[in-house]
Amino acid sequence: MSRNHSRRYGVLATLLAALSMIGPFSIDALFPAFERMASEFGVGAGSMQQTVSVYLLAYAAMSLLHGPVSDAIGRKPVIVLGMVCYGLASMGAALADSYVVLLVFRAAQGLCGGAGMVVGRAMVRDRLQGAAAQRLLARALLIFSIAPAIAPMIGAVLLGTTGWRGIFWFLAAFAWLLALACALLLVESHPAHARSSLAPRSLLAGYRAISRDRGFWLLALVATVNFSSLFLYIASAPEIVRHQLGLGVDAFPWLFIPVVAGLMMGSALSGRLAGHVSTLRTLGLAYVLMVVAGIAHVALALALPHAMVPWSVFPLLVQGVGVQLAFPTLTLLLLDRFPQRRGAVASLQAFVSLLINAAVAGVLSPLLSSHMLALALGALVLVLAGLAAWVRFSRTQDSVGASA
């Protein structure tokens, strides 16, 4: 690859990583502010958890349109407009004078926030094939992986200096800077001659074809529940840090640093293995790591008299490696099932993922987060569900990865 091409793909990887950070920033940066926001609006802790679920549900619903629209009009306009609108929604949340108004603008954030992540993945596959695409996606995920760690740190700093509203002003500024960077630096990857119609009939036909593909659903389930096993801990962070570990609002790094370290190591390992190790072996190694981490969570919850650092959070590092090692490979397998409708595939996969993770944040986390053993068992069940779906997929004739 020439130096010019390498620089261009480096810019794409960096922008894709930054766009993907919108999701973790939208959720994790607010965790340190939950108690103060609940007090100001006169609501309980459970109500603040719904600000995550509302965001994710809106994100999931709109993600069904981001990809198909980008298939029809190009990737770049969808990303730039999405970031501009996300900034406006963040500004509205910063000015909210009631809990209901806050929920409305959280939903508006969700409607716009997915444009970059969903469409960005399609851009990678537009430009590159095989191992090169896996390496670029792994590189983007490596940069993105720092977001879950720095988001609560930034949130805690802003909470102490500008109050919780400053967190939303930060999100607005970040989104508008991203919109400007994408407008100036992003190169359109989906040429006019390859675009599909945005007519409702064509859109529905595309989704109908994808939804009838059993391989798509199995892969989407695998990719989703893998991450959900980790997201269960992320969504439960306020309860784990403040009550299970008994730490203050400045102690969120105890939970997020192992997660981030694992995700970064998994991304780096995925890039190293691309083109050298088969899909089956890559996924096999990923599941060994995830299952070992799940069993370790359960064992530590049973062995320790109460949750404590670093032992109770260390398995998250191993789990993060497994989750991120598997993700680039699974993403490319999904996108390759319908090469002419990669945007729609990315959208539907994001919809499935976000819908399940909204349930994790809004239902599973409140139910399980008061006990570390319950959390550990819940996460292990999710890992095993993903493993079962992958085994089912890999044994069918739809599997395309044995020698990829």
100-115 tens-digit pLDDT: 999 999 999 999 988 8
Q: What is the pLDDT of residue 378?
A: 95
The CA–CA distances, whole Å, from 131 to 18, 50, 270 equal 22, 40, 10
Contact between 12 and 126 under an 8 Å Cβ cutoff? The reply is no
Structure tokens belonging to residue 200: 């409702």
Contact between 274 and 333 under an 8 Å Cβ cutoff? The reply is no
Angle (deg, nearest 10), helices 279-303 and 253-273: 160
Domain residues for the domain of 118 are 3-186+199-394
Within 8 A by CB and 6+ apart from 403, the residues are: 278, 279
Contact between 20 and 120 under an 8 Å Cβ cutoff? The reply is yes
- How many CA within 13 A on the CB side of residue 32? 30
Structure tokens belonging to residue 105: 């603008």
Q: Quote the number of domains for the chain.
A: 1
Domain assignment present for 388: yes
CATH code where residue 364 lies: 1.20.1250.20
* Closest residue by Cα to residue 274 from 146, 139, 126: 139
Contact between 283 and 322 under an 8 Å Cβ cutoff? The reply is no
Structure tokens belonging to residue 101: 């108004």
pLDDT tens for the 404 residues of the chain, in order: 455 556 667 787 788 888 888 988 998 899 889 889 999 998 887 788 788 888 988 888 888 888 888 888 888 899 999 999 999 999 999 999 999 999 999 999 999 988 887 787 778 777 777 777 778 777 777 777 777 768 888 998 999 999 999 999 999 999 999 999 999 988 887 777 777 767 777 778 888 888 899 999 999 999 999 999 998 998 888 888 888 887 776 777 788 888 888 988 998 898 888 888 888 899 999 999 999 999 999 999 999 888 778 888 899 999 999 999 998 889 888 888 887 777 788 888 888 887 888 788 888 998 998 889 999 999 999 999 999 999 999 887 544 433 33
Count other C-beta atoms under 10 Å from residue 10's C-beta: 12
Residue 396 and residue 4: Cα distance in Å, rounded?
41
Q: What is the pLDDT of residue 6?
A: 61
Domain assignment present for 193: no
Q: What is the pLDDT of residue 118?
A: 78
Contact between 59 and 111 under an 8 Å Cβ cutoff? The reply is yes
Domain assignment present for 223: yes
Q: What is the pLDDT of residue 402?
A: 36
The length of the chain, given as a count of residues: 404
Report the first-to-last Cα separation within the chain, whole angstroms.
21
Domain assignment present for 194: no
Q: What is the pLDDT of residue 343?
A: 77
Domain assignment present for 404: no
Domain assignment present for 370: yes
Domain assignment present for 159: yes
Map tokens 């359109």 to a residue.
188
Domain assignment present for 399: no
Angle (deg, nearest 10), helices 45-73 and 34-41: 110
